[in-house]
Structure 1
Amino acid sequence: MRNWMTALFLCLFTINGMAQQPGTISGTVLDSVTHKPLTLVNVALQSAAGTKLKTTVTTEKGQFALQVATQSPGSQLAVSYVGYDSKLISLPASASALGEILLAPVADQLSGVTVTARPPLVKQEIDRLTYDVQSDPQSKGQSAMDMLRRVPLLTVDGDDNIQLQGSGNYRIFINGKPSALVTNNPKDVLRSMSASIIQKIEVITTPPAKYDSEGLAGIINIITTKKTAEGYNGTVSLRQNIPFGPNININGTYKKDKFGLSMYGGTGISPITTTGQDNLRETFGASPSTLFQTGTSGRNNKFVYAGGELSYEIDSLQLLTASGNYFQGRIEQFFDRMSTNKDVSGAVLQSYRLSSEGYYRNKGIDVGLNYQLGFKHRKDQLLTTSYRYSYSLNEQAADIRITDVFKFTQPNNTQRNDANFNEHTIQVDYVHPLNKITMEAGAKAILRTMNSDATGQIYSSTANGYINDPTRANQFRYSQDVYSIYNSYQAKLTKWTFQGGVRAELTRIAADFTSTATRLNLEYTNLVPTVSVMRLLEEGRTLTFGITNRLMRPGITMLNPFVDRSNPQIISGGNPDLRPVISHLFELGYNKVYKSGSLNTKLSYMYTNNNIESVTRILADTLSQTTFDNVGQSRIARINVAGNFTINPKWSVNFNTGIFYVWVRGVYNGKFFSNHGPRTNTFANATYKPNSIWQFGASGGYNRRYVNLQGGSNDYWYTSFSATCNLKKWSFSAIANNPFMTHYSFTMFTATEDFHQSNTSHMIYRNFNLSVSYKFGGLSSGLKKNRRGINNDDAAGGN
């Protein structure tokens, strides 16, 4: 292996060739019949092998301009538009003005597979589905979480829990990289992030071998906007949500000569909102009893986030980029709850009132550096070296007071947990095109440390104050090193595209349970193959097929042994003995592009052994504990249908529905559990645009309940109505979410032969968004970026 790598790198630095001088490729795209300009036509510069190098879209006058630093021999320009025949133009040796390009308005076959109406909304590729957020007319004034509800293959329930193809295990990326912003706290980050800074969302269901194997169901990649040429542009957005408060978001880009900058940021304040909570547990057996808890909880939230990317073109073959992301949020929270435990006759066995005040604070930081080297004889040949550092901090504290006591002996107490995560990643990637075949290979090392320190105090009447309680203390140290190599190949033929590869990963784990003086050392190797195939048929039809294995390594959220005792009778904590999980995924897709839109259908089947499940058991008549364990054997069969159609120039519709059946079984605490049933998630939207200024939309969705090992949830539905006014650089929007229902009750339940437990949150459901955006600058084309970089999708974030 060492001799092979040495020879490889010697070859990389001894290959020579000729590079063309920088210049501009420009032209005007017109309808071949009417000779009217076509707006938002996709224009892509690609190599002789068919690899896209740079893309743009035409202006209202049908014009486009691509700034190119180098132009390889045999380069081509691909011009495509829904409802028109695509065109492939061979380019001269140097960049030049191409003049008028005529597209015929008869779509017999499309060279690209665009699953949407005009402008593009959903695109199907060989291994992923892409949702264009900026093309969604209802994206203005919405959050990132709102947009995830509209993406095919994704489900978001009433408590903002996200599932990908029916699974809660996946990875979320920001701009192709894992981020501390969303690793441990995806809900609050995505709720606060404005959709105005998001360009598109990718759902990668069969990730190629260059990606880490983590994420049983796949990867969700959120790509932020990066648009500029020589000069600058940007957008400032103000939003007021009633009752959740205001926030401000800004994004902008700047480019001068060889230097480029893209950045975004936002901040907001959420005032205190109060909701209701109910917990019910019926315990069976020799001494049956019923525990009922009811009360209110409240929280406010302050957050700030920012991200940016710098690029510097050292010369036509060398590119240096740096990136950074930052998020910090603090939630003040309180609750007041009355607990009553009764026997079968209705007599009170125990009762008390519990009130708590506390906070939750989280912080995430990512910084990265990438160096990309190209080669003169072939633009697609690349060598990239990358480094990334990630850090996250999570603090949780609560002051718990107990009053109105009847036969309840627990004293007032406090609890605190400080958890942090550090990660260093070093990666080398090499891409080598061979005619119609592209080979990729690379190596990577990820070095992680995770720490958790939990402490607790109880009130002592003897000491007349709080004293440390050793039974509430826990120290946990955890390190995880992952070393991997991969090799993959992609072959693009006239109507076939093949992609296949294999990834080998070595994982070393060392855990130190300081409080119990217990150590754990573990080492294992995983070999992960991936195969994807795409077949272009006639009349805009496409077939895709994929098969892969995926891996789940439990993250600190699941491993952390800290026991949350904020509810003395329903406690929860992690399990440091969790082991990795491997899933097997098969999928088959069919896509059809029409003159007025498109239809996408996908069949998939995933099965998993020793799956990590959330499980609950009774410790005493009045106490239950929820944790995680490797006890599940699950299967999910799914069909997903998504469509986008333009009815006429003023009306358009899009829909997404997933119907799947879930089987799950396993043994926990010496007892066998089995559950199965159908699930659905359906979304539909209609848009009316009477003119170029006004736009109106209506949408709704329905999600059927979860199916878990020991229980599930109730169903969930939502509606939304919007109006948008666009005036040159100004945009105004008003959105009413769930206007017909003030509150919604979301219930998760557990049912066994020993007990039945349900936890219900009565959430604020009706809310209104008022937003205004201002765009400054007027230039748009692509900011040059590294084409390879670090993607640590190998560690579960508890999503």
Structure 2
Amino acid sequence: MKLRLLLFLFTACVIKAQVSTAQQFSISGLVKDEKGKAIALATVSVYKTVDSVLLTATATDDKGRFSVNLNAGVYYLAVTFLSFQEKKISNVTVDKNINLGTIVLQETVKQMSEIVVTSDKKMMELKLDKRIYNVSQDVSNIGANASEILANIPSVTVDPDGNVSLRGSEGVRILIDGKPSALTGLRSTDALRNLQGAMIERIEVITNPSSRYDAAGETGIINIILKKNKTRGFNGNFTGTVGYPSNFSGAYSINYRTQKMNLFSSFGSNYRQNPGNGSSTQKFSSADTSFMYNQTQNRTRRDFSLNFMAGIDYYISSNATFTGSFLIDGGRENNLNKLLYEDFNSIGSLTGSSERIDDETATERDTELSLNLTKKFPGEKEREWTTDFKWTNSGEKESSDYSQTFSDGTKPLSQRSGNPAYEDNLLLQTDYIHGFGKDGKFETGLKGTIRRITNEFLVEEQDVTGNWITLPAFDNNMEFTEQVYAVYGLLGNKIKDFSYQFGLRGELTIMRTGLIKTNEINDRRYANLFPSASISYAIDEKNTLQLSYSYRINRPNFRNLTPFADFSDDRVYFVGNPNLNPEFTHSMEAGHLLEWSSGSLLSGVYYRYKTGVVERIRTIDTVTGISNIIPVNLATQKELGIEMTFAVTAASWWKINSTVNFFRAVANGKYENTELNSETVSWTNRTTSRMTFFKDLDFQASVNYQSPRITTQGKTLAIYSIDLGLVKDVFKGKGTLTFNVRDLMNSRRRRTVVDIPGYYSNSDFLWRPRQMTLTLNFRINQQKIQRDDDDDNNNIDG
């Protein structure tokens, strides 16, 4: 009995001691400005005095009040808010409840009526895990669309058809605000042309992503961040552009923030008329025949597009935020394409000619709903939980009328086609971050996406009686579904000057491609593990080294799976392949970042080993001269490259940025018992020089170059261009006027050569001639370059 009593008393004492040790006290106060006005949503951060570790943070309420609970100890506080100077309160000893009274913040800069305050971001910010391009700082981007802006990003190339490549590979993942979006879904190339550059804040390029990110994208991720300001009160940014050839666009980005919510909206509209032209020569030879034909092409593309987005950030509390947004995007295109064929016999004599006209009309629309809930945990370092939901619905209707006339008196040919496609996409994910120790962090998350696309295709031909007859080879309905379920874990920490991060991501893919009318069903299911690792070492404040590895996948996209042909050119058909398998890539990269007061240099070596590489193979019918271009899993490929990005302020009025990428690629493959191998050494470069004269007049010149590349069936020739821009501030700094000339020498042409047994061709195509634009940007209650107050909602998904 006595023993039990002693045990009870001992336990009670221990519990009392633990309760006493865990007892907390409060620190409270009131934050005001110099005029005595309460400051809401000011950040109050609490640090341990002994080691300066951030312990907790909170925000003031609508009356400027705050309160935090702490264990006994010695702390210091830092109070910050937007354009006010940071206020530090040192040596706060907590052994009871403490009221700090009124804390007064002073403004960083006081504006006089005739003074305009501007802040200048770097055009390019270099980090070991990504590069950030503040596109509004690049003069050649003003008045451009997203596709044209991406073409100006170092290491990124955009071909005349709008296909985006990173470091020479099209296996790149494009995201909007860190998530898949309707703006890059069903018709990503057209959608990027419709997205106005005035709506874009910055672009992030991640060449070797960790397991936090989707495994899709063999060469990395391009993340387009749209403008969404969070400055209190009302502010806005309005842009208008006129140009030649016909180019008229307008856009705005506005927001209104109160204590409990932030309302934001953006809009962009554009009308363009772009002429294009090209020519090609095709030669055919076999044991018993040879012939050739020349083709000249003239194209006029007219398109009208608009994007509208609106949303709200609702601050449930100082540690919880709900964000909802709605986006609608639409457009109409009319493309008139004229093809002239001239046929020659084996001795070069003209045997006949014909002209084919394709009059295409297309309408597009996208709808997107996004919801996000972010919860932070006060008093716990870097602990955060987020949940995201996104639904998108897209549709595209294409129809074409074809007419063809012949010089030999053959009856004119009339054809027509219809090609409607619709997509539904559902995304749900949740992520959790938990910090530990001084610099440790663990992350985990779940994600599921369900995607369904339907595509009908029909080509009809008019017979001698005037009736429309269906062409059986071009009549089918395709249904494509893709489900991807993912889970990941990521662990990182820092030990002195070493930092490490290891992760593992698992993804299950369930895919079905079905041709309904012919009952051809292709089911695919595969589960994969994608590890990642990153180690960095800070040699000193100016030098950092990093080594990283990731394993990635590039799933075949819808356009490469659909078997229907582009019927515009009846001698060259671009068709898909429903039997495509995904590509897989092992990617390794070693980098060195050197920073000094006037510049930085990021240099790196990368190696990629790819299996199941998809290439577009041309097959030839030497009797009819018809070519089929089809994507196939052709080869394995090894790539070794060196990339250097250099940014320097040569003088107070002169800034230079340059990126050069050298790489060697070796591909080995076989198609229909034919060895198709290639070895190429290629390089790309973009150099920009920006000079400021008379304090507010900026001149910029940019040079882009892409060297020739050897392919498995031929080569692509060099592409180069020069862009010029002139910028002048107007309206006492509230406006900016920009004049741009893109592709000064009309040299941004796609030139290709195909040389295989029995067939030779060379082609030269100019998608868009030299462009001149004049753009006016006007700001209300904004600085010239507005810095983000909070980027939490722009993090890339896991």
Q: TM range, normalised to the smaller chain?
A: 0.7 to 0.9
2:154 alignment partner, SS class: coil
Instruction: Give the total of aligned pairs.
Output: 728
Q: Distance in 1 between matches of 2:282 and 2:330?
A: 36
Q: Distance in 2 between matches of 1:146 and 1:369?
A: 30
Distance 1:203 1:377, change over 3 A: same
Q: CA deviation at 1:787?
A: 5.0
Distance 1:626 1:44, change over 3 A: farther
Q: Distance in 1 between matches of 2:518 and 2:154?
A: 47
Q: CA deviation at 1:24?
A: 6.2
Distance 1:410 1:324, change over 3 A: same
**Cα distance per residue 1:36-88 (max 9 Å; x no partner):** xxxxxxx9989876799999xxxxxxxxxxx9989897798799xxxxxxx99
- Mean Cα deviation higher: 352-361 or 576-585: 352-361
Q: More relative contact order in 1 or in 2 (CA 8 Å, sep 6+)? A: 1
- Mean Cα deviation higher: 421-430 or 214-223: 421-430
Q: CA deviation at 1:696?
A: 1.6
Structure 2 match to 1:632: 635
**Cα distance per residue 1:557-598 (max 9 Å; x no partner):** 111111222211111111111111111111111111122111
**Cα distance per residue 1:630-679 (max 9 Å; x no partner):** 11222222111111111221222221111112222211232111122221
- Mean Cα deviation higher: 341-350 or 748-757: 341-350
1:378 alignment partner, SS class: coil
Q: Distance in 2 between matches of 1:729 and 1:374?
A: 37
**Cα distance per residue 1:397-437 (max 9 Å; x no partner):** 21111212549789421111112221111112111111121
Structure 2 match to 1:603: 605
For the pair 1:774 / 2:778, whether they are aligned, the reply is yes
Q: Distance in 1 between matches of 2:69 and 2:240?
A: 44
**Cα distance per residue 1:664-715 (max 9 Å; x no partner):** 2211232111122221111112222134322222221211134433233221
**Cα distance per residue 1:756-798 (max 9 Å; x no partner):** 2333213443221111111012486756565587738xxxxxx
1:177 alignment partner, SS class: coil
Q: Distance in 1 between matches of 2:692 and 2:656?
A: 12
Q: Distance in 1 between matches of 2:579 and 2:693?
A: 60
Q: Distance in 1 between matches of 2:651 and 2:227?
A: 29
Task: Decide whether the 8 Å contact of 1:402 with 1:411 is kept in 2.
Answer: yes
Q: Distance in 2 between matches of 1:51 and 1:342?
A: 81
Structure 1 match to 2:318: 316
**Equivalent residues in 2 for 1:508-523, closer than 5 Å:** 508-523=510-525
Q: Distance in 1 between matches of 2:57 and 2:199?
A: 23
Distance 1:518 1:136, change over 3 A: closer
**Equivalent residues in 2 for 1:742-781, closer than 5 Å:** 742=746, 745-778=749-782
**Cα distance per residue 1:171-203 (max 9 Å; x no partner):** 111111121112344444444444343222111
Look up the equivalent residue of 1:575 and give its one-letter code: N
2:219 alignment partner, SS class: coil
Q: Distance in 2 between matches of 1:416 and 1:431?
A: 49
Structure 2 match to 1:163: 165
TM-score under structure 2 normalisation?
0.84
Look up the equivalent residue of 2:457 and give its one-letter code: A
- Choose the corresponding residue for 1:388, options 390, 393, 402: 390
Distance 1:674 1:396, change over 3 A: same
Distance 1:553 1:313, change over 3 A: same
- Mean Cα deviation higher: 670-679 or 117-126: 117-126
Distance 1:72 1:209, change over 3 A: farther
1:568 alignment partner, SS class: coil
- Choose the corresponding residue for 1:679, options 682, 704, 707: 682
For the pair 1:480 / 2:485, whether they are aligned, the reply is no
Look up the equivalent residue of 1:467 and give its one-letter code: I
TM-score under structure 1 normalisation?
0.84
**Equivalent residues in 2 for 1:273-422, closer than 5 Å:** 273-286=274-287, 287-348=289-350, 351-378=353-380, 380-406=382-408, 411-422=413-424
**Cα distance per residue 1:359-394 (max 9 Å; x no partner):** 233322321111222223325212222211122223
Structure 1 match to 2:12: none
* Identity percentage of aligned residues: 21
Q: CA deviation at 1:544?
A: 1.7
For the pair 1:718 / 2:718, whether they are aligned, the reply is no
**Equivalent residues in 2 for 1:123-202, closer than 5 Å:** 123-136=125-138, 139-157=141-159, 160-202=162-204
Look up the equivalent residue of 1:768 and give its one-letter code: M
- Choose the corresponding residue for 2:656, options 653, 657, 669: 653
Task: Decide whether the 8 Å contact of 1:384 with 1:789 is kept in 2.
Answer: no
Q: Over aligned residues, Cα RMSD in angstroms?
A: 3.5
Look up the equivalent residue of 2:275 and give its one-letter code: T
Q: CA deviation at 1:610?
A: 0.9
Structure 2 match to 1:568: 570
Structure 2 match to 1:83: none
2:693 alignment partner, SS class: coil
Look up the equivalent residue of 2:268 and give its one-letter code: G
For the pair 1:730 / 2:735, whether they are aligned, the reply is yes
Distance 1:399 1:123, change over 3 A: same
For the pair 1:670 / 2:673, whether they are aligned, the reply is yes
Q: CA deviation at 1:97?
A: 5.5
Look up the equivalent residue of 1:708 and give its one-letter code: T
Task: Decide whether the 8 Å contact of 2:284 with 2:622 is kept in 1.
Answer: no
Distance 1:583 1:45, change over 3 A: farther
- Choose the corresponding residue for 1:698, options 693, 696, 701: 701
Distance 1:402 1:17, change over 3 A: farther
Q: Distance in 2 between matches of 1:359 and 1:54?
A: 55
Look up the equivalent residue of 2:665 and give its one-letter code: V
Task: Decide whether the 8 Å contact of 1:386 with 1:790 is kept in 2.
Answer: no
Q: Distance in 2 between matches of 1:785 and 1:137?
A: 24
Q: Distance in 2 between matches of 1:754 and 1:503?
A: 47
**Cα distance per residue 1:588-637 (max 9 Å; x no partner):** 11111122111111211112011111111113431110111111222222
Q: Distance in 1 between matches of 2:471 and 2:368?
A: 36
Task: Decide whether the 8 Å contact of 1:158 with 1:716 is kept in 2.
Answer: no
Distance 1:139 1:473, change over 3 A: closer
Structure 2 match to 1:221: 223
Q: Distance in 2 between matches of 1:646 and 1:52?
A: 38
Distance 1:520 1:686, change over 3 A: closer
Task: Decide whether the 8 Å contact of 2:56 with 2:381 is kept in 1.
Answer: no
Q: Distance in 2 between matches of 1:223 and 1:44?
A: 28
Task: Decide whether the 8 Å contact of 1:70 with 1:316 is kept in 2.
Answer: no
**Structure 2 residue ranges without an equivalent (≥5):** 1-21, 35-42, 81-85, 93-99, 109-118
Task: Decide whether the 8 Å contact of 2:593 with 2:603 is kept in 1.
Answer: yes
Structure 1 match to 2:17: none
Task: Decide whether the 8 Å contact of 2:55 with 2:381 is kept in 1.
Answer: no
**Cα distance per residue 1:245-271 (max 9 Å; x no partner):** 110111112111111123221101113
- Choose the corresponding residue for 1:266, options 258, 265, 268: 268
Distance 1:201 1:292, change over 3 A: same
Q: Distance in 1 between matches of 2:564 and 2:412?
A: 19
Distance 1:685 1:421, change over 3 A: same
Task: Decide whether the 8 Å contact of 1:350 with 1:408 is kept in 2.
Answer: no
Distance 1:89 1:200, change over 3 A: farther
Q: Distance in 2 between matches of 1:154 and 1:720?
A: 16
Look up the equivalent residue of 1:710 and give its one-letter code: Q
